[in-house]
Structure 1
Amino acid sequence: MDRNASFRAFVDAHQRPLMRLAYLLTGEVHLAEDLLQSVLVRMIGRWPRLRHIDRPEAYARKALVNQYISWRRRRVTGEVPSAEPPERAYSPEDSTVLRIVLRQALMRLTPKQRAVIVLRFYEDRTERDVADLMGCSVGTVKSQTHHALARLRTLAPELAPNLPALEDPAHMKEARR
């Protein structure tokens, strides 16, 4: 199998899950497509070496997360902050509305916090897996997760019953000693 055929086979096999991760990170289809395309362009240049590693899809995931976090190109959202939040005319039990509220709250997290939340809870990865993907320590993953969940509770209180419990920071300090 020639180099291009091998890479096409890889893309065919892994494009959907990689695109889903890119979308969850960026929150927009077009930005997700751009992110995935930029990672795949970099990968094809390295494909002669990458095709021999055990899990090139793990490399692609890590590259997506790293590229997303380091992207300097940021789009202006057009959102205008206001002193009063809009009144909510929905039932918090409506799962479609909760998904929309969650997406909007996720978009207001820092890129690292969003990546940690997506990898930990959507992709159901362990703290060690997330640390490896993001190139940081497990402690950083734990603190970013804690801060991100606290921020989500502040941004969208209606999500609180659906979010994992926060550990008491005092308890966390005791555990480190």
Structure 2
Amino acid sequence: MADRDIAFAQFVTAKADSLQRTAYLLCGDWHRAEDLTQVTFTKLYRRWHRLTDLDALDGYARQVLVRAFLSERRLGWFRREHVTAEHDDRPGPGTAPEDRLVLLAALAKVPAGQRTVLVLRYWEDLSVEDTARLLECSEGTVKSQAARGLQALRALLNVTPLSSRRGA
């Protein structure tokens, strides 16, 4: 196996789970998340010999994943999305499984554009600037989509924001 292939295999081994979890949060389906992750790795492999900035590889992989998700939506797979009662039973760090399931179900009901921004901003911990660059939109769009997405999540979860509770 060539050094190029060994390096790629090591990258895939190290990042597959993380990218798949992000894909799942974007699309809400483990099978589609696997497909998106595979598409991401296929696209990365095609360009692997040209990638020189290994420090930026995580961000680039995430960008490829998000663009694959957005392309899939544009091509019509999004219209066939069906929310089901199936869910992942793996608990997240520091989160009770019941709370995690409720949050994932609510996140699946948030519009895809807002969900994408929420995942990138709060799961991937990207800045507003990085999220805007990744989605090729303005920072204002990222801020408004995040605000609307959080508002939708709060409504679905029947949670009031902390700023509203202080006056009570």
Q: Counterpart of 1:140 in 2: which secondary structure?
A: helix
Q: Which residue of 1 aligns with 2:152?
A: 151
Contact 2:43 2:64 (C-alpha < 8 Å) held by counterparts: no
Give the corresponding residue for 1:135.
136
Name the TM-score, length of structure 1 as normaliser.
Answer: 0.73
Greater CA radius of gyration, 1 or 2?
A: 1
- Cα RMSD of the aligned pairs, angstroms, is 2.3
Task: Answer yes or no: is the 8 Å Cα contact 1:113–1:145 preserved in 2.
Answer: yes
Equivalences, count: 148
Greater helix share, 1 or 2?
Answer: 2
**How far does residue 144 in structure 1 lie from its aligned partner after superposition?**
0.4
Q: Cα gap change, 1:140/1:12 in structure 2, threshold over 3 Å: closer, same or farther? A: same
Structure 1: gaps of 5 or more residues: 80-93, 167-177
Aligned counterpart for 1:73 among listed residues 65, 70, 77 = 77
1:76/1:127 CA distance change after superposition, 3 Å: closer
Task: Give the match for residue 31 of structure 2.
Answer: 30
Q: Would you identify which runs of 4 or more consecutive aligned residues in structure 1 move more than 6 Å? A: none
Structure 2: 5+ residue stretches without partners = 85-94
Residue 22 of structure 2 aligns with an amino acid whose one-letter code is L
Identity score, percent: 40
1:6-155, aligned counterparts within 5 Å?
6-50=7-51, 52-53=52-53, 54-71=55-72, 72-74=76-78, 75-77=80-82, 95-155=96-156
TM-score by length of 2: 0.76
> Residues 63, 165 of structure 1: CA spacing in aligned structure 2 closer, same or farther, 3 A cutoff?
farther
